Structure 1
Amino acid sequence: MTKSEAGASAAIEPTVGGTQSVFRALSILHAFSARQPALTGPEVAAKFGYSEPTGYRLLRALEAEQFLVFDRTTRKYSPGPEIIRLAGVMLHRDAFVAQTHAILARLRALTGETSAIFWRLGNQRTCTQEMVGQRPGRIEAGVGVDYPLTRGAAGKALLLGLDERAVREFLAEPDVAAPVGGVDRFLADLEVSRKRGYTVSTGETIAGAVSIAVPIAWLDVGLAAYSISAPESRFGPREREAAARALLEETSRLRSFLRR
């Protein structure tokens, strides 16, 4: 540790030390998204119910370690270079992440439509990689954009590993968006999807879009799912079945690769 680093740490530790502060700081990082890429100190304090001095202490601690950067013009904090560095470490280490890019490219080539992978983060799902289709009227989820687990094929795919009781408990949580069509219809849809191995949705998150999704259940139940999305006008029953087969084949291929 350099002298300047030691000084920064010493300045931070007395006011932001302890396990509670660690969890608070991590919660702040979770607050940033594609829809909300920057936050002010008062916004953070209001969002988490902190006093403004506490909010600023946590933000400055994260800034000191370069997890956040501060824009003096807008007075807002946003994700910093340390997050990019850690993402690079994961990409270099994780064969799964490297293979995902190749899989998405093959899925797009096979269908001509947008392919993506979604990861569950709390009670949301976030698009972490996407290959946008090259045909007119393409559908785009948006990397870094989060969606409710109760909406869209990928969200439902992430819930397929749960039994009915667990799903009902999940749906009862106060921050979970109500499913389209009600709970009973949602549960029936999940049951049909379990039997066929994939989920389908129409217009639940993007108007006029149809999505097919397959969970990567053997990686970790409810953690990640692949999807293919296209305009409803050119994604009829035949195209949906072909997309589902491609998704199932690619997840099987990925499993075989990672077993080597």
Structure 2
Amino acid sequence: MSVQSVERALDVLEALAEHGGEAGLSEIAARTGLPYGTIHRLLQTLLARGYVRQESDRRYALGGGLVRLGEVAESMVGVWAQPYLSKMVELSGETANLAVLEGDFVVYVAQAASPRRLRMFAEVGRRVLPHSTAVGKVLLAGRTAEDAATVFGRTGMPRRTPNTIVDTDAMLTELALVRERGYAMDLGEEELGVHCLAVPVHDGGRVVAAMSVSGPAERIDALDRDELAEGMRKIAHAFGAELSPAAGGA
């Protein structure tokens, strides 16, 4: 049985998250459908607990109290992901990774290593810009083109290799292709000689993480890309189902 006040407080936090971590009352109301008075009361409680802060322009932003919860949750997600990452290793023969978007950066939170002697590693905890990685493309493809362009405007698009896409319009076209086909590729854009294929993890209707396999370019290119992506999507879907609110209430 749900508790209405808890559900509404979570709706407010999710509305802030979907607006990039900061929103005004009107934006929260539009997202949640709640009356202004109800939103204001919920925000006062969240402010008192440190889960929300109020900015000088009277807009509201996610607060530092969520950081501690997020750190614990992130570590648990990494644990829960291991069986699914292991399945991706079995499917591809290559190293599998789980990554999330923290602010404007991609962070690798879990990994299952390939059994091959020559294999790729992305250190858990490593932070990279999203434009040069398959996982970053998947995560930004889960947002609107306007949101993605805003991220690129803040971070810039430095050239990591000769293959890196460094033009915003070209990247937005790439993200549209990712949405259409359901997976992203990094063809030596972050590191020469390394190719990567990534698929989204959905929690309900949102893209909350990305799962990928990476390896030497010649081995990744030898795989059937569409067949690999389809198998990876099935694994990512099963993982997303475990993370979804419906699963938690089962």
| 2:182 is the counterpart of 1:197 | yes
Aligned to 1:177: 157
CA distance in 1, matches of 2:189, 2:225: 16
Matches of 2:116 and 2:208, distance apart in 1: 30
Assess, with a 3 A threshold, how the Cα gap between structure 1 residues 170 and 231 changes in structure 2: closer, same or farther. Answer: same
Letter in 1 for 2:88: L
Residue 222 of structure 1 and its aligned partner are, at CA, apart by 4.7
Q: Which of 108, 111, 132 does residue 127 from structure 1 map onto?
A: 108
Number of residue equivalences: 180
TM-score by length of 1: 0.60
* Counterpart AA for 2:111: E
**In the alignment, which residue of structure 1 is the partner of 2:227?**
242
Amino acid paired to 2:82: H
CA positional deviation for 1:121: 1.2
- SS of the residue 1:217 aligns to: strand
Could you report, residue by residue, the CA deviation over 1:102-148 in whole angstroms, capped at 9, with x for unpaired residues?
Answer: 00111111211000100111111111111111213211111111110
Question: Which has the higher mean CA deviation after the structures are superposed, 185-194 or 220-229?
Answer: 220-229
Taking a change above 3 Å as real, the CA distance of residues 220 and 116 of structure 1, as seen in their structure-2 partners, is farther
Corresponding residue for 1:34?
Answer: none
2:85 is matched with which residue? 104
Segments of 5+ residues of structure 1 without an aligned counterpart are 1-18, 21-25, 31-82
In the other structure, the counterpart of 1:61 is: none
Q: Structure 2: how far apart are the matches of 1:206 and 1:243?
A: 21
Percent of residue pairs identical: 23
1:143 aligns with 124
Equivalence for 2:3? none
TM-score, normalising length: structure 2: 0.62
Which runs of structure 2 are paired with 1:147-226 in the superposition (5 Å)? Answer: 147-173=128-154, 175-178=155-158, 180-218=165-203, 221-226=206-211
Displacement of 1:220: 7.2
Alignment RMSD (CA, Å): 3.2
The answer to whether residue 212 in structure 2 is matched with residue 232 in structure 1 is: no
Q: Is the 8 A contact 1:126 1:147 kept in 2?
A: yes
8 Å CA contact 2:137, 2:184 repeated in 1: yes
The alpha-carbon distance between structure 1 residues 240 and 106, as it changes in their structure 2 partners (threshold 3 A), is same
Measured at CA, do residues 237 and 219 of structure 1 come closer, stay the same or move farther in structure 2, by a change above 3 Å? farther
Residue 141 of structure 1 aligns to a residue in which SS? coil
Larger Rg: 1
Change (3 A) 1:170 1:90: closer
- Deviation of the 1:90 alpha carbon: 4.3
